Structure 1
Protein backbone atom coordinates (compact mmCIF):
# COMPACT_ATOMS: atom_id res chain seq x y z
CA UNK A 1 0.00 0.00 0.00
CA UNK A 2 2.87 2.42 0.74
CA UNK A 3 4.19 1.98 -2.81
CA UNK A 4 0.73 2.84 -4.15
CA UNK A 5 0.50 5.94 -1.93
CA UNK A 6 3.97 7.01 -3.06
CA UNK A 7 2.99 6.56 -6.71
CA UNK A 8 -0.22 8.54 -6.14
CA UNK A 9 1.89 11.30 -4.62
CA UNK A 10 3.40 11.97 -8.06
CA UNK A 11 0.01 12.76 -9.63
CA UNK A 12 -0.50 16.34 -10.83
CA UNK A 13 -3.68 15.65 -12.79
CA UNK A 14 -6.44 13.05 -12.47
CA UNK A 15 -8.15 12.13 -15.75
CA UNK A 16 -11.50 10.35 -15.63
CA UNK A 17 -13.70 8.41 -18.01
CA UNK A 18 -17.40 9.02 -17.43
CA UNK A 19 -19.53 5.94 -18.14
CA UNK A 20 -18.53 3.26 -15.65
CA UNK A 21 -16.30 5.61 -13.62
CA UNK A 22 -18.12 8.85 -12.77
CA UNK A 23 -21.43 7.11 -13.44
CA UNK A 24 -22.48 3.49 -13.05
CA UNK A 25 -22.20 2.97 -16.79
CA UNK A 26 -25.91 2.74 -17.45
CA UNK A 27 -27.44 4.95 -20.11
CA UNK A 28 -31.05 5.72 -19.27
CA UNK A 29 -33.47 7.41 -21.64
CA UNK A 30 -36.74 8.91 -20.46
CA UNK A 31 -39.97 8.78 -22.53
CA UNK A 32 -38.88 11.81 -24.56
CA UNK A 33 -35.51 10.23 -25.41
CA UNK A 34 -33.57 12.46 -23.04
CA UNK A 35 -30.52 10.73 -21.61
CA UNK A 36 -29.91 10.78 -17.85
CA UNK A 37 -26.97 9.75 -15.68
CA UNK A 38 -26.46 9.47 -11.94
CA UNK A 39 -23.30 10.83 -10.31
CA UNK A 40 -21.91 10.28 -6.81
CA UNK A 41 -21.83 13.22 -4.41
CA UNK A 42 -18.86 11.57 -2.70
CA UNK A 43 -16.92 11.62 -5.97
CA UNK A 44 -17.71 15.32 -6.28
CA UNK A 45 -16.29 16.09 -2.84
CA UNK A 46 -13.17 14.09 -3.70
CA UNK A 47 -12.66 15.98 -6.96
CA UNK A 48 -13.15 19.33 -5.20
CA UNK A 49 -10.59 18.25 -2.59
CA UNK A 50 -7.96 17.78 -5.29
CA UNK A 51 -8.58 21.30 -6.58
CA UNK A 52 -8.08 22.66 -3.06
CA UNK A 53 -4.52 21.32 -3.15
CA UNK A 54 -3.70 22.32 -6.73
CA UNK A 55 -4.22 18.94 -8.41
CA UNK A 56 -5.92 19.32 -11.78
CA UNK A 57 -8.78 17.16 -13.04
CA UNK A 58 -10.01 16.26 -16.51
CA UNK A 59 -12.63 14.15 -18.22
CA UNK A 60 -12.00 12.22 -21.41
CA UNK A 61 -15.07 10.37 -22.65
CA UNK A 62 -16.13 8.69 -25.85
CA UNK A 63 -19.70 9.94 -25.66
CA UNK A 64 -20.99 13.52 -25.67
CA UNK A 65 -23.55 14.65 -23.14
CA UNK A 66 -24.70 18.01 -21.80
CA UNK A 67 -25.02 16.33 -18.38
CA UNK A 68 -21.27 15.75 -18.33
CA UNK A 69 -20.62 19.44 -18.96
CA UNK A 70 -23.09 20.38 -16.22
CA UNK A 71 -21.56 18.00 -13.67
CA UNK A 72 -18.03 19.08 -14.60
CA UNK A 73 -18.91 22.72 -13.88
CA UNK A 74 -20.62 21.79 -10.59
CA UNK A 75 -17.59 19.98 -9.20
CA UNK A 76 -14.85 22.08 -10.79
CA UNK A 77 -13.36 19.74 -13.38
CA UNK A 78 -10.62 21.72 -15.13
CA UNK A 79 -10.79 20.15 -18.62
CA UNK A 80 -13.56 18.27 -20.44
CA UNK A 81 -12.99 16.32 -23.66
CA UNK A 82 -16.08 14.60 -25.03
CA UNK A 83 -16.88 12.52 -28.10
CA UNK A 84 -13.42 11.02 -28.44
CA UNK A 85 -13.17 7.30 -29.13
CA UNK A 86 -9.37 7.30 -29.15
CA UNK A 87 -8.60 8.20 -25.55
CA UNK A 88 -4.82 8.13 -26.05
CA UNK A 89 -4.94 10.73 -28.82
CA UNK A 90 -7.33 12.81 -26.68
CA UNK A 91 -4.94 12.53 -23.72
CA UNK A 92 -1.95 13.63 -25.80
CA UNK A 93 -3.91 16.54 -27.27
CA UNK A 94 -5.05 17.59 -23.80
CA UNK A 95 -1.48 17.59 -22.52
CA UNK A 96 -0.42 19.78 -25.46
CA UNK A 97 -3.06 22.39 -24.53
CA UNK A 98 -1.82 22.75 -20.95
CA UNK A 99 0.20 25.77 -19.94
CA UNK A 100 3.87 24.74 -20.18
CA UNK A 101 4.45 26.38 -16.79
CA UNK A 102 2.40 23.56 -15.24
CA UNK A 103 5.10 21.12 -16.35
CA UNK A 104 2.67 18.18 -16.63
CA UNK A 105 3.53 15.14 -18.74
CA UNK A 106 1.64 11.87 -19.11
CA UNK A 107 3.85 10.42 -16.36
CA UNK A 108 2.43 13.05 -13.97
CA UNK A 109 -1.16 11.96 -14.63
CA UNK A 110 -3.50 9.39 -13.18
CA UNK A 111 -6.14 7.92 -15.49
CA UNK A 112 -9.22 6.11 -14.31
CA UNK A 113 -11.08 4.01 -16.88
CA UNK A 114 -13.03 0.78 -17.03
CA UNK A 115 -13.16 -0.58 -20.57
CA UNK A 116 -11.00 -1.41 -23.56
CA UNK A 117 -10.97 2.10 -25.11
CA UNK A 118 -9.24 3.33 -21.91
CA UNK A 119 -6.31 0.88 -21.90
CA UNK A 120 -3.82 2.77 -24.11
CA UNK A 121 -4.29 5.98 -22.15
CA UNK A 122 -3.98 4.06 -18.89
CA UNK A 123 -0.74 2.46 -20.05
CA UNK A 124 0.68 5.89 -20.91
CA UNK A 125 0.17 7.65 -17.57
CA UNK A 126 2.09 7.30 -14.32
CA UNK A 127 -0.84 5.90 -12.32
CA UNK A 128 -3.77 3.82 -13.64
CA UNK A 129 -6.90 3.03 -11.62
CA UNK A 130 -10.12 1.18 -12.31
CA UNK A 131 -13.24 -0.24 -10.69
CA UNK A 132 -13.94 -3.86 -9.67
CA UNK A 133 -16.47 -4.42 -12.46
CA UNK A 134 -14.11 -3.18 -15.19
CA UNK A 135 -13.13 -5.35 -18.11
CA UNK A 136 -10.55 -7.96 -17.04
CA UNK A 137 -7.92 -6.56 -19.42
CA UNK A 138 -8.28 -3.14 -17.77
CA UNK A 139 -7.99 -4.63 -14.28
CA UNK A 140 -4.85 -6.50 -15.32
CA UNK A 141 -3.21 -3.24 -16.44
CA UNK A 142 -4.17 -1.09 -13.45
CA UNK A 143 -2.12 -0.01 -10.46
CA UNK A 144 -5.26 0.24 -8.32
CA UNK A 145 -8.68 -1.41 -8.34
CA UNK A 146 -11.11 0.43 -6.10
CA UNK A 147 -13.46 -1.35 -3.72
CA UNK A 148 -16.44 0.68 -4.95
CA UNK A 149 -17.98 0.60 -8.41
CA UNK A 150 -18.26 3.49 -10.83
CA UNK A 151 -20.80 6.11 -9.83
CA UNK A 152 -20.74 4.76 -6.27
CA UNK A 153 -17.70 6.52 -4.80
CA UNK A 154 -14.88 4.83 -6.72
CA UNK A 155 -13.41 8.15 -7.85
CA UNK A 156 -13.40 9.32 -4.22
CA UNK A 157 -11.17 6.37 -3.28
CA UNK A 158 -8.62 7.47 -5.87
CA UNK A 159 -8.87 11.13 -4.80
CA UNK A 160 -8.28 10.15 -1.16
CA UNK A 161 -5.25 8.09 -2.17
CA UNK A 162 -3.82 11.01 -4.15
CA UNK A 163 -4.33 13.29 -1.15
CA UNK A 164 -2.52 10.75 1.06
CA UNK A 165 0.33 10.57 -1.43
CA UNK A 166 0.68 14.35 -1.41
CA UNK A 167 0.47 14.50 2.39
CA UNK A 168 -2.82 16.47 2.40
CA UNK A 169 -5.31 13.82 3.51
CA UNK A 170 -5.25 14.60 7.26
CA UNK A 171 -5.57 18.33 6.59
CA UNK A 172 -8.52 17.66 4.28
CA UNK A 173 -10.26 15.44 6.87
CA UNK A 174 -9.58 17.98 9.63
CA UNK A 175 -11.81 20.46 7.81
CA UNK A 176 -14.76 18.22 8.56
CA UNK A 177 -14.03 17.05 12.11
CA UNK A 178 -14.07 18.57 15.58
CA UNK A 179 -11.16 16.52 16.91
CA UNK A 180 -8.82 18.45 19.21
CA UNK A 181 -5.98 17.98 16.76
CA UNK A 182 -8.01 19.67 14.03
CA UNK A 183 -9.07 22.78 15.98
CA UNK A 184 -6.07 24.75 14.67
CA UNK A 185 -7.14 23.99 11.10
CA UNK A 186 -10.58 25.54 11.60
CA UNK A 187 -9.36 29.04 12.32
Structure 2
Protein backbone atom coordinates (compact mmCIF):
# COMPACT_ATOMS: atom_id res chain seq x y z
CA UNK A 1 0.00 0.00 0.00
CA UNK A 2 2.85 2.41 0.75
CA UNK A 3 4.15 2.00 -2.82
CA UNK A 4 0.70 2.96 -4.15
CA UNK A 5 0.51 5.98 -1.88
CA UNK A 6 3.99 7.06 -2.99
CA UNK A 7 3.01 6.67 -6.67
CA UNK A 8 -0.23 8.57 -6.08
CA UNK A 9 1.79 11.36 -4.49
CA UNK A 10 3.38 12.08 -7.88
CA UNK A 11 0.04 12.73 -9.60
CA UNK A 12 -0.55 16.25 -10.92
CA UNK A 13 -3.45 15.33 -13.24
CA UNK A 14 -6.13 12.65 -12.78
CA UNK A 15 -7.61 11.58 -16.12
CA UNK A 16 -10.88 9.64 -16.15
CA UNK A 17 -12.86 7.58 -18.61
CA UNK A 18 -16.62 8.03 -18.22
CA UNK A 19 -18.59 4.86 -19.00
CA UNK A 20 -17.64 2.24 -16.42
CA UNK A 21 -15.60 4.69 -14.31
CA UNK A 22 -17.59 7.86 -13.58
CA UNK A 23 -20.78 6.01 -14.44
CA UNK A 24 -21.74 2.36 -14.04
CA UNK A 25 -21.18 1.74 -17.74
CA UNK A 26 -24.84 1.44 -18.65
CA UNK A 27 -26.32 3.65 -21.32
CA UNK A 28 -30.05 4.03 -20.83
CA UNK A 29 -32.35 5.54 -23.45
CA UNK A 30 -35.87 6.70 -22.66
CA UNK A 31 -38.75 6.26 -25.13
CA UNK A 32 -37.76 9.53 -26.81
CA UNK A 33 -34.19 8.31 -27.36
CA UNK A 34 -32.76 10.58 -24.67
CA UNK A 35 -29.65 9.10 -23.08
CA UNK A 36 -29.31 8.93 -19.28
CA UNK A 37 -26.29 8.23 -17.07
CA UNK A 38 -25.97 8.10 -13.30
CA UNK A 39 -22.97 9.59 -11.48
CA UNK A 40 -21.77 9.09 -7.90
CA UNK A 41 -21.98 12.04 -5.53
CA UNK A 42 -19.01 10.59 -3.63
CA UNK A 43 -16.90 10.72 -6.78
CA UNK A 44 -17.84 14.38 -7.13
CA UNK A 45 -16.67 15.17 -3.61
CA UNK A 46 -13.41 13.36 -4.32
CA UNK A 47 -12.80 15.31 -7.52
CA UNK A 48 -13.56 18.59 -5.76
CA UNK A 49 -11.10 17.61 -3.02
CA UNK A 50 -8.31 17.30 -5.57
CA UNK A 51 -9.06 20.79 -6.89
CA UNK A 52 -8.77 22.18 -3.38
CA UNK A 53 -5.13 21.05 -3.31
CA UNK A 54 -4.23 22.07 -6.86
CA UNK A 55 -4.47 18.64 -8.49
CA UNK A 56 -6.03 18.90 -11.94
CA UNK A 57 -8.65 16.58 -13.41
CA UNK A 58 -9.66 15.62 -16.94
CA UNK A 59 -12.07 13.39 -18.79
CA UNK A 60 -11.18 11.55 -21.97
CA UNK A 61 -14.05 9.56 -23.41
CA UNK A 62 -14.86 7.91 -26.72
CA UNK A 63 -18.48 9.04 -26.68
CA UNK A 64 -20.08 12.48 -26.83
CA UNK A 65 -22.64 13.41 -24.21
CA UNK A 66 -24.09 16.67 -22.96
CA UNK A 67 -24.52 14.97 -19.59
CA UNK A 68 -20.77 14.56 -19.33
CA UNK A 69 -20.25 18.27 -19.95
CA UNK A 70 -22.89 19.11 -17.35
CA UNK A 71 -21.43 16.80 -14.71
CA UNK A 72 -17.88 17.96 -15.42
CA UNK A 73 -18.94 21.58 -14.93
CA UNK A 74 -20.80 20.74 -11.69
CA UNK A 75 -17.80 19.08 -10.07
CA UNK A 76 -15.05 21.25 -11.52
CA UNK A 77 -13.32 18.94 -13.97
CA UNK A 78 -10.60 21.08 -15.59
CA UNK A 79 -10.51 19.49 -19.06
CA UNK A 80 -13.07 17.49 -21.04
CA UNK A 81 -12.18 15.64 -24.23
CA UNK A 82 -15.09 13.76 -25.83
CA UNK A 83 -15.54 11.69 -28.96
CA UNK A 84 -11.98 10.39 -29.06
CA UNK A 85 -11.48 6.71 -29.78
CA UNK A 86 -7.68 6.91 -29.51
CA UNK A 87 -7.32 7.99 -25.91
CA UNK A 88 -3.52 7.98 -25.98
CA UNK A 89 -3.49 10.52 -28.82
CA UNK A 90 -6.11 12.53 -26.93
CA UNK A 91 -3.97 12.55 -23.78
CA UNK A 92 -0.85 13.49 -25.73
CA UNK A 93 -2.70 16.39 -27.36
CA UNK A 94 -4.16 17.49 -24.02
CA UNK A 95 -0.76 17.52 -22.35
CA UNK A 96 0.74 19.45 -25.28
CA UNK A 97 -2.01 22.07 -24.99
CA UNK A 98 -1.49 22.70 -21.27
CA UNK A 99 0.32 25.79 -20.11
CA UNK A 100 4.06 25.04 -20.09
CA UNK A 101 4.24 26.44 -16.55
CA UNK A 102 2.21 23.46 -15.35
CA UNK A 103 5.04 21.14 -16.47
CA UNK A 104 2.87 18.01 -16.63
CA UNK A 105 4.03 14.92 -18.49
CA UNK A 106 2.31 11.57 -18.88
CA UNK A 107 4.39 10.29 -15.97
CA UNK A 108 2.68 12.92 -13.77
CA UNK A 109 -0.78 11.61 -14.66
CA UNK A 110 -3.07 9.01 -13.17
CA UNK A 111 -5.60 7.39 -15.48
CA UNK A 112 -8.71 5.38 -14.64
CA UNK A 113 -10.23 3.19 -17.31
CA UNK A 114 -12.04 -0.12 -17.53
CA UNK A 115 -11.90 -1.47 -21.08
CA UNK A 116 -9.52 -2.23 -23.93
CA UNK A 117 -9.44 1.31 -25.43
CA UNK A 118 -7.95 2.49 -22.12
CA UNK A 119 -4.92 0.18 -22.03
CA UNK A 120 -2.43 2.25 -24.05
CA UNK A 121 -3.05 5.30 -21.89
CA UNK A 122 -2.77 3.22 -18.74
CA UNK A 123 0.59 1.88 -19.93
CA UNK A 124 1.84 5.43 -20.55
CA UNK A 125 0.89 7.25 -17.34
CA UNK A 126 2.63 7.13 -13.98
CA UNK A 127 -0.33 5.62 -12.13
CA UNK A 128 -3.07 3.41 -13.60
CA UNK A 129 -6.26 2.43 -11.79
CA UNK A 130 -9.35 0.46 -12.66
CA UNK A 131 -12.50 -1.05 -11.20
CA UNK A 132 -13.15 -4.67 -10.17
CA UNK A 133 -15.46 -5.38 -13.11
CA UNK A 134 -13.00 -4.08 -15.72
CA UNK A 135 -11.79 -6.25 -18.58
CA UNK A 136 -9.15 -8.69 -17.30
CA UNK A 137 -6.48 -7.22 -19.60
CA UNK A 138 -7.07 -3.81 -18.00
CA UNK A 139 -6.88 -5.27 -14.49
CA UNK A 140 -3.59 -6.98 -15.38
CA UNK A 141 -2.09 -3.63 -16.40
CA UNK A 142 -3.31 -1.57 -13.45
CA UNK A 143 -1.45 -0.39 -10.39
CA UNK A 144 -4.69 -0.30 -8.40
CA UNK A 145 -8.05 -2.02 -8.59
CA UNK A 146 -10.65 -0.20 -6.50
CA UNK A 147 -13.01 -2.05 -4.19
CA UNK A 148 -16.01 -0.18 -5.62
CA UNK A 149 -17.38 -0.40 -9.13
CA UNK A 150 -17.53 2.49 -11.57
CA UNK A 151 -20.35 4.91 -10.81
CA UNK A 152 -20.42 3.78 -7.19
CA UNK A 153 -17.47 5.60 -5.61
CA UNK A 154 -14.50 4.03 -7.40
CA UNK A 155 -13.12 7.42 -8.44
CA UNK A 156 -13.38 8.60 -4.83
CA UNK A 157 -11.08 5.77 -3.74
CA UNK A 158 -8.42 6.97 -6.17
CA UNK A 159 -8.93 10.62 -5.16
CA UNK A 160 -8.48 9.69 -1.49
CA UNK A 161 -5.28 7.78 -2.34
CA UNK A 162 -3.94 10.78 -4.27
CA UNK A 163 -4.70 13.03 -1.29
CA UNK A 164 -2.85 10.59 1.00
CA UNK A 165 0.11 10.56 -1.38
CA UNK A 166 0.28 14.34 -1.34
CA UNK A 167 -0.14 14.48 2.44
CA UNK A 168 -3.51 16.26 2.30
CA UNK A 169 -5.93 13.51 3.30
CA UNK A 170 -6.15 14.28 7.03
CA UNK A 171 -6.51 18.00 6.36
CA UNK A 172 -9.33 17.30 3.92
CA UNK A 173 -11.14 14.92 6.28
CA UNK A 174 -10.63 17.37 9.15
CA UNK A 175 -12.96 19.90 7.59
CA UNK A 176 -15.82 17.42 8.01
CA UNK A 177 -15.12 16.16 11.52
CA UNK A 178 -15.12 17.50 15.06
CA UNK A 179 -12.27 15.28 16.21
CA UNK A 180 -8.83 14.35 14.92
CA UNK A 181 -9.37 10.61 14.34
In which range does the TM-score fall when normalised by the shorter chain?
over 0.9
Q: How does 1:134-173 map to 2 (within 5 A)?
A: 134-173=134-173
The CA deviation string for residues 51-95 of structure 1, in whole angstroms up to 9 with x for no partner, is 000000000000000000000000000000000000000000000
Following superposition, which runs of at least 4 residues in structure 1 exceed 6 angstroms of deviation? none
Aligned residue for 2:114, secondary structure, equals coil
**Is structure 2 residue 90 aligned with structure 1 residue 93?**
no
Gaps of 5+ in 1: 183-187
The aligned counterpart of 2:55 is 55
The CA deviation string for residues 30-57 of structure 1, in whole angstroms up to 9 with x for no partner, is 0100000000000000000000000000
The aligned counterpart of 1:15 is 15
**Is structure 2 residue 46 aligned with structure 1 residue 46?**
yes
Aligned residue for 1:128, secondary structure, equals strand
Distance 2:131 2:138 in 1: 9
Gaps of 5+ in 2: none
The aligned counterpart of 1:30 is 30
Aligned residue for 1:157, secondary structure, equals helix
Shift of 1:170: 0.1
The aligned counterpart of 2:66 is 66
Distance 1:102 1:84 in 2: 24
Aligned residue for 1:25, secondary structure, equals coil
Q: Rg: which structure is higher?
A: 1
The aligned counterpart of 2:175 is 175
Distance 1:97 1:176 in 2: 36
The aligned counterpart of 1:2 is 2
Corresponding residue pairs, total = 181
The aligned counterpart of 2:125 is 125
**TM-score w.r.t. length of structure 2:** 0.99
Distance 1:72 1:54 in 2: 17
**TM-score w.r.t. length of structure 1:** 0.96
Aligned residue for 1:178, secondary structure, equals coil
